[in-house]
Amino acid sequence: MRDVVQVTGELVANRRAGAYHHLTVVAPGLAELAKPGQFVALAVGGETSANLLRRCFSIHRVKPSGTFGGTVDVVIAAHGPGTQWLTQLRAHDPVDVVGPLGRPFPLPAEPVACVLVGGGYGSAPLFWLAEALRERGCHVEMVLGAASEDRLFGVVEARRTADGVTVTTDDGSAGRRGWVSDVLGEVVDRTGAGVVYACGPMAMLRSVTEIAAAHGAVAQVAVEESMACGIGVCMTCVMPVTGNDGVTRMVRSCVEGPVFRGDRVRWDAFADGVCRVPADTLGAPRVGGH
């Protein structure tokens, strides 16, 4: 892989952000290579741990230079032992980082209105993207949604970064009661957006893709498939995507993604948290044998 490094970084800060942890890590050489939409893979558990697999996180922001060198920010939700271990790290602890990984968000060649949609801490990579889009003269609005107020990420930062912000929560504890899909159509129409960028749960990405298409916009989505290696070896993150030739193939979200055109993803293959191989996929098993 080109333009990927592995470094032993140093944790600069570990801050609480609602239900999440916001980590800043010195990662020399990595920050200079990264682009919005890419991710990093962090080793977990220390030298004696049985946690062999890295944990992958979207890059929230980078600073190519600074007092300590280039830094990378990630946002982590503590779910299992690996992420819990990471959220317990303290300043100056070493962190083994591989990155930047994956394909970044494509940026429009000409200024165009864009809507950025984030679900929970899936909004993390959208703030850096918003800055890159505004530097190109794009009008940028953000739609941030979560189950409840404490599970939103970056609302204050969004109001500093974007031209407009709409917030939704399932329980109505902040912003409008409901889902991002309830407001997205009107935001796209009001802004005349040509592109909708999104990151969050797969069900949300499917809705965003359908709404964007119905309102004349193209969706670019960063998927949240589980990644075990992050470098394309283990094949645990494969998902069905239709290519330019109209053929559906099982591709690796960590290498061919994590960003895909939403209308190319075979959303019909996802159900109950499981991704199945569509029957018309290239190489799919046939009834009665190979």
- pTM for the model: 0.92
Q: Average pLDDT for residues 187-211, to the nearest whole number?
A: 95
Q: Average pLDDT for residues 84-100, to the nearest whole number?
A: 93
More confident residue, 1 or 100: 100
Is residue 2 scored above 80 in pLDDT? Answer: no
**What is the spatial distance between Cα 262 and Cα 226, in angstroms, rounded to a whole number?**
18
Residue 97 — very low, low, confident or very high, per pLDDT cuts 50/70/90?
A: very high
Pairing type for strands 238-242 and 164-169 reads: unpaired
| pLDDT at res. 289 | 54
Q: What is the pLDDT of residues 7-30, one digit of tens each?
A: 999 999 999 998 999 999 999 889
Which residue carries 């952000």 as its tokens?
A: 17
Alpha-helical (H) ranges within the chain are 81-87, 126-135, 155-161, 180-191, 202-214
| 46-60, 67-81, 96-110, 219-233: segment of lowest average pLDDT | 46-60
| pLDDT at res. 3 | 87
With a CB cutoff of 8 Å and minimum separation 6, the contacts of 249 are 240, 241, 242, 243, 281, 282, 283
Task: Give the orientation angle of helix 202-214 with respect to helix 180-191, to 10 degrees.
Answer: 30
Q: Average pLDDT for residues 140-159, to the nearest whole number?
A: 94
| pLDDT at res. 16 | 93
**What is the spatial distance between Cα 268 and Cα 116, in angstroms, rounded to a whole number?**
24
Q: Which residues, listed in sequence order, are joined to residue 41 by a DSSP beta bridge?
A: 56, 98
Q: Average pLDDT for residues 79-105, to the nearest whole number?
A: 92
Share of the chain above pLDDT 90, in %: 71
Structure tokens given for 241: 């995507």
